[in-house]
Structure 1
Amino acid sequence: MIHFVVHEPADGVGVVVVEDVKAGTDLIGWVMDGDLTLNIKSESDIPIGHKISLNDFKPGDTVMKYGVDIGKVVAPIKKGEHLHVQNVKTKRW
């Protein structure tokens, strides 16, 4: 079963595609470009459609999704944690 999808191999996040991901769950991800799989343990509860971090990030780091810069990290994020508005902000304003 695929739990999250990643578009590009260099992306730092995947999108959860199943309901009710709970902290401590072993997840399988699919990288579309290259048809690869990843294994990550969820460090947080993550709702469907939200992002899971594929790397550890520190404040000031850039997050890539679809091969595009989607924002700046404003709070530390561990691999497997929920990546959302509480820890990433747009660079547009």
Structure 2
Amino acid sequence: MKTYIQINPQDNVCVALAPISAGTQINAGTTVTTLEDIPQGHKIALADIKEGEKVIKYGFPIGVAKQ
């Protein structure tokens, strides 16, 4: 069972469908390794998102990174 979903290929985040442990590799077009435990429903950045950059989900901006 897949534990995450990238809703749109243009998204720079994916969503945890179940709790994901630190050290888990996620391959959603690129491979990232989680640095901490991720609770179900939380977003995971698929690339560095710098302060002020848009967070893309559903193929559209849903917010701006604060940090």
Question: Following TM superposition, by how much is the alpha carbon of 1:27 offset from its aligned partner in structure 2, in angstroms?
Answer: 3.1
Q: Do the aligned partners of 2:23 and 2:34 also contact (CA within 8 Å) in 1?
A: yes
1:45-64 matched pairs, under 5 angstroms: 45-64=37-56
If you compute each CA radius of gyration, which structure gives the higher value, 1 or 2?
A: 1
Higher relative contact order (CA 8 A, sep 6+): 2
CA distance, structure 1, for counterparts of residue 11 and residue 61 of structure 2 = 9
Q: Do the aligned partners of 2:30 and 2:46 also contact (CA within 8 Å) in 1?
A: no
CA distance, structure 2, for counterparts of residue 64 and residue 54 of structure 1 = 10
Question: Following TM superposition, by how much is the alpha carbon of 1:44 offset from its aligned partner in structure 2, in angstroms?
Answer: 1.9
- Quote the residue 1:24 is aligned against: 23
TM-score w.r.t. the length of structure 1 is 0.63
Task: Give per-residue Cα distances to partners, 1:20-45, cap 9 Å, x unaligned.
Answer: x122122355xxxxxxx654311221
Give the alignment's Cα RMSD to 1 decimal.
1.7
Identity %: 37
Instruction: Structure 2 unaligned segments of length 5 or more: list them.
Output: none
Figure out how many residues of one structure are paired with residues of the other and give that number: 67
TM-score w.r.t. the length of structure 2 is 0.83
Amino acid at match of 1:63: V
Instruction: Structure 1 unaligned segments of length 5 or more: list them.
Output: 30-36, 76-93
